[in-house]
A = this chain, B = another copy of it.
Amino acid sequence: MQRKDYLLNPVEHMKIKAPLTVDQLMRQFSGSGSFSAGRLAVACDIYEKMLRDDECTVFLALSGAVIPAGLRALVSDLIRRRLIDVVVCTGASMVHDAIEAVGGRHYKGSWLVDDRELYKYHIFRIYDVLVTEEDYVRLDYQLAELYSKIADERKGEPLSSREFTWELGKYLSDPQSILRSAYEMNVPIFMPAARDSEFGFIHWLHSSQQNRKNTLCLDAFKEVPEICNICSQSPKNGMIVIGGGVPRNTVQSAALASKKGMDYAVVVTMDRPETGGLSGSTLKETISWGKVKDEADKVMVIGEATMVFPLMAASVLERLGEEFQRKPKTSTGEN
């Protein structure tokens, strides 16, 4: 590179006039182009580009506790507007979704409360969000019955986690539920670590019931070709990662195993690379594996998702406009 090539784009300082729409603010972030504001603006550009690219299947990898913290309706709405094609998430995320679908709630609290008192009151804390044990118990009993029903219908034939979430979505009637929305829109939800959540303990409850004919069996490996085939059959693939952990790894590994590599990648995380863990690993590192293509549009935003992801969504929805339509992805198949 020549010296002058480094000096092509002066920072345009943000001008904050009120009122600004979210996307107008994002344009200011884009002009400035630095640090997290600049990265966030790039993330919006990439998400918009994914959505306008007819060939691209959009994966959402979801970890952490953003669902109880207020992003449930947002994810659900994005699914219903076909702005997400495939979800890969932790079991806990869908447990939180289901708790609300069967009438439970999450409550605003504080991280400074007396946890011994909460314990006494059978209230559980997730940083500054609270949830009651009774809301868990209500879910437990409803789903234990559902497990038995599914097991009988399938006669013990193992399900993949995708089939399992499809059954959950079929069962839950709450239209705001992520599981329900995905079921109605034929958006697959994978939960590679479904066992590591209340779904696992509900299974224990279900399997220890007397007079049970069949036991639900979740085949851990069955989903591997399912998700890889989605990548493989889609001309292009893009991912939006919230957090890290198993969901990020599963999506990236599907891109690798299907020998496609992601064409678009946005990662929103607070984790850092120096521990060597997958969650904080850079997108530069993914290139060595072929998980994300070298030439992909990609960016990592260092920030907390309850703040960053709604900003991205609001900005991109504003750009797309109400009339924007995306076609369902045939590659995500039917159940």
> Which A residues form the contact surface with B (CB < 8 A)?
1, 3, 6-23, 25, 28-29, 31-40, 63-66, 68-74, 77, 92, 105-109, 111-113, 115-119, 121, 123-130, 132, 158, 161, 176, 192-197, 200-201, 203-204, 207-208, 216-221, 223-225, 228, 243, 245-246, 249-250, 253, 257, 270-279, 281-282, 284-290, 294, 302-308, 310-311, 313-314, 317-318, 320-322
Contacts and interface: CB of A to CB of B under 8 A. Distances in A.
Given A22-B22, A77-B16, A302 B304 contact: yes
A228 to B, nearest CB: 7
B277 A64 contact: yes
Contacts of A318: 18-20
Q: Which of A35, A71, A281 has the most CB of B within 10 A?
A: A35
15 contacts: A19-B317, A29-B70, A37-B306, A38-B69, A63-B277, A68-B276, A92-B249, A112-B284, A115-B287, A119-B289, A126-B285, A195-B223, A204-B225, A218-B219, A272-B302
Contacts of A307: 29, 35-37, 40, 303, 307-308
A88 B11 CA distance: 24
A19 B21 contact: yes
Contacts of A207: 221, 225
A314 B36 contact: no
Contacts of A21: 19-22
The 9 closest A-B pairs by CB, nearest first: A32-B70, A18-B317, A36-B304, A34-B69, A13-B73, A118-B288, A37-B306, A193-B193, A18-B318
Contacts of A196: 192-193, 246, 249-250, 253
A161 B308 CA distance: 36
A257 B287 contact: no
Contacts of A117: 1
Contact of A289 (B125, B273, B303): B125
B306 A6 contact: no
A322 B17 CA distance: 9
B249 A224 contact: no
A195 B91 CA distance: 14
Contacts of A276: 34-35, 64-66, 68-69, 126-129, 306
B243 A224 contact: no
Give the number of times this chain occurs in the complex, counting copies: 4
A96 to B, nearest CB: 10
A23 B19 contact: yes
A204 B224 contact: yes
A317 B115 contact: no
A11 B304 contact: no
A35 to B, nearest CB: 4
Contact of A224 (B116, B123, B203): B203
Nearest to A206: B221
Contact of A204 (B68, B221, B249, B304): B221
A275 B243 CA distance: 9
B12 A70 contact: yes
B11 A108 contact: yes
A98 to B, nearest CB: 14
Interface-central residue, A72, A128, A196, by most chain B CB under 10 Å: A196
